[in-house]
Amino acid sequence: MSASRIMVGVSGGVDSSVAAWRLVQQGEAVAGLFMQNWADDGTGQCRAEDDRRDAVAVCGVLGILFHFRDFSSEYWQGVFEHFLAEYAAGRTPNPDVLCNREVKFKHFLDAARELGAERIATGHYARIDRHGGRWRLLRGADHGKDQSYFLHQLGQEQLAATLFPIGDLHKTDLRRIARDAGLPTHAKKDSTGICFIGERDFRQFLGRYLPARSGQIRDPQGRYIADHPGVFYFTLGQREGLNIGGVRGRPAAPWYVVGKDVAANVLYVDQDRDSPWLQSRRLRSEVAHWVAGSPPARRFDCTAQTRYRQPDEPCTVAVEDDGSVSVRFARDQRAVTPGQSLVLYDGDQCLGGAVIATTDAPMPLGMASLSEEVSIR
């Protein structure tokens, strides 16, 4: 056995199970730690206890120690409060990015070190290497499962202490390995969404924390279309849940969210999926994070994603004096959403990213224009 100790974040899923198995096969001194990030709210919708039992079973099969830590308080303060504040402001946050930064690669790393581990490992589909004296975050080999988008807030200290044992695998191969190894999670369905929401209705859940008030749905010219149950239940480009029936004088075509005015409690919609009201070519971010500790240059070309699993989009990035970035895309982008993450890439290397603040998408009538704030030198 190696003298080094590695703490694997065992989630009760097949990915972390295979991550732990591979490290054991390599002769590493491994232990598992299950993180509870959401306190039971009495609805039975979050499957944390089932996942915990599966994690215990995996550790038993592998013959490794099992540890448990309750990070629900840290999750509430570091992730969920921000999640609620963003929705209340009319933005669409990405809690998975914050969870990685604030919990999995902060509190989990600290707990692992307290238990004597030198490094941590997780079942993320991503890779790490060292080049030119710096640690690099790379996409997973399975680009369809790559999770570097959610890991872009990691820095040199976290990467130096982290292993991604399944980053070179494709999902189908991983399932086969789990089955052949006799891991009890080999056929377990992948989890989707956010644990604290689970399978429940999103509006019903959010309404427990952000009491909504109904208001008007209007078209971009300000004409009344229908009523909505609350503007922060919707995000740009969304089609589902609008419940707009037949509208006199309008074609029988789907409606899409193209704008939100939280102050006026108005939701704006259009019937064109590629509506000009959803198109933007420039954006401005909040302060950016760089995996290497600094940007590659004050101005550079790269590719970007403004949402998970989006194809790479060529762009030019300018780093502003306040640490934010201004980005100009080579072509129009659909439904770039404030609150979501802009993640920058050089090939397979994740350079870093930032929260999207504003875009130059046209604003429907009655909404304050943000386009003047978006500039690129």
> 111: alpha, beta or left, given left = phi > 0 and alpha = psi -120 to 50?
alpha
Kindly provide the residue ranges of all beta strands, DSSP E only, lying in 177-278, ordered along the sequence. Answer: 215-218, 224-228, 256-261, 266-270
Contact predicate 124/164, CB 8 Å: yes
Identify residue 338 by its one-letter amino acid code: P
Contact predicate 131/348, CB 8 Å: no
| Catalytic residue, candidates 195, 302, 315, 350 | 195
Instruction: Supply the DSSP string of 66-81, one letter for each residue.
Output: EEEEE-HHHHIIIIIH
**112 closest CA partner among 234, 223, 9:** 9
- Mark whether 195 is an active-site residue: yes
Bridge partners (DSSP) of residue 257 are 269
| Catalytic residue, candidates 46, 99, 302, 315 | 99
> 152: alpha, beta or left, given left = phi > 0 and alpha = psi -120 to 50?
alpha
First vs last C-alpha separation in the chain: 56
**164 closest CA partner among 214, 119, 224:** 119
Work out the number of other CB atoms within 10 angstroms of the CB of residue 131: 10
Task: Please identify which residue in the block is written with the tokens 């989707």.
Answer: 192
**306 closest CA partner among 276, 277, 331:** 331
- Mark whether 99 is an active-site residue: yes
**305 closest CA partner among 165, 164, 151, 166:** 151
The residue count for the chain = 377
Q: Is 37 helix (H, G, I), strand (E, B) or coil?
A: coil
**12 closest CA partner among 43, 57, 65:** 57
Contact predicate 304/357, CB 8 Å: no
The residues carrying an active-site annotation are: 99, 195
